[in-house]
A and B are shown apart, each in its own frame.
Chain A
């Protein structure tokens, strides 16, 4: 296990490995429940409180414990974190938290905790891991807000809770529209990251040519 700090902050979690748009590790809350800005906010806060805190806490679980048991402990910690999260969200957003409650509850078994912890986060030093996991949560937030704002406008004709016009497409609040929209956003995100990668590769090649000519 390499625990030396690399000193670099990786932004993979935002675009290249976005857990909603690129790897699809957490999709259900976004597809079904993210139909407005406020719902996206509640989903993001719940994801932050449950997943992020679980990742930070579970880092202290000794690696000598067998994988089968570690997975169970991860889920138990996330389920325990659900209790303060649910109490806080029900106090701040009682109607919205109640409407999306099942999508908050299922976050306790999300793949960011169960898959990324072992394959990525726990291979890093603690501080670097904390920043990296936060960037993954930001990637989730970005997808949730994008889907929530687009669907709020199309399904209800409002933006950030303020009415703008008649609902252009009421069907936008349905799960099938959520899948279609997420598919299109996933393709857009992939196109963006591919373009950035090609541009970065080209600039590396040009830099090499200039250096060789100078030599």
Chain B
């Protein structure tokens, strides 16, 4: 029971307090891209959540072995890239074998859901703040859910943000950034921070 509570509390923290998009801006470009359609929101969320959760658990053992060494930190991007690459290939093989039609449809952009700052950033944050395997697991899973929350909030606002009421030069990418900034401010307050203007 204690383990479950720990996983949930760390996951909640990574969704609301250290949200990958609103607090760290990890993969904000991917979130903007994924939020265009409901289907891509779900597809990207599933891909990213699976990757961050599984890769976080694997990276726990790597961190235990390498981080205490003097130059271990220098090789972490290479090792994390290796972990993500292996999972990427296994994921593609799984899709190819089990859902061949889906594999044909998504194979051109599936790497965007795998090789992005959200996934690799979660591994680096885990190596900095994670304490045991359960916190790694909770943080990895929470990062994926936090990504979904960000995509959902972008998706529901997209129609209004693209409307005629928005000045032409702001429509699209600029207004999306400003909207993410406003939501980020709300998350900042939710986390209990105060701001000196």
Which residues of A line the B interface, CB within 8 A? 22-28, 31-32, 68, 71-72, 75-76, 78-80, 82-83, 86-87, 102, 105-106, 108-111, 114-115, 169-171, 174-180, 182-184, 186-188, 190-191, 194
Contact = CB atoms under 8 A, between A and B. Distances in A.
B159 to A, nearest CB: 18
Given A72-B88, A109-B116, A175-B23, A79 B181 contact: no
Given A76-B78, A79-B78, A106-B117, A31 B28 contact: yes
Secondary structure dominating the interface of A:
helix
Given A28-B26, A102-B121, 10 more contacts: A68-B88, A78-B77, A80-B78, A105-B120, A171-B196, A175-B23, A178-B25, A180-B182, A187-B170, A191-B169
Contacts of B182: 176, 180
B43 interface: no
B111 interface: yes
25 contacts: A22-B173, A27-B25, A28-B117, A31-B25, A68-B89, A75-B84, A75-B85, A78-B77, A78-B81, A87-B74, A102-B125, A106-B120, A108-B81, A109-B116, A114-B112, A175-B23, A175-B25, A175-B184, A177-B181, A178-B25, A179-B177, A179-B184, A183-B178, A184-B178, A187-B170
Secondary structure dominating the interface of B:
helix
B24 A28 contact: yes
A102 B124 contact: yes
Contact of A176 (B74, B125, B173, B184): B184
Interface of B: 22-29, 32, 74-78, 80-82, 84-85, 88-89, 92, 107, 111-112, 115-117, 119-121, 124-125, 128, 167, 169-170, 173-178, 180-182, 184-185, 188, 195-197
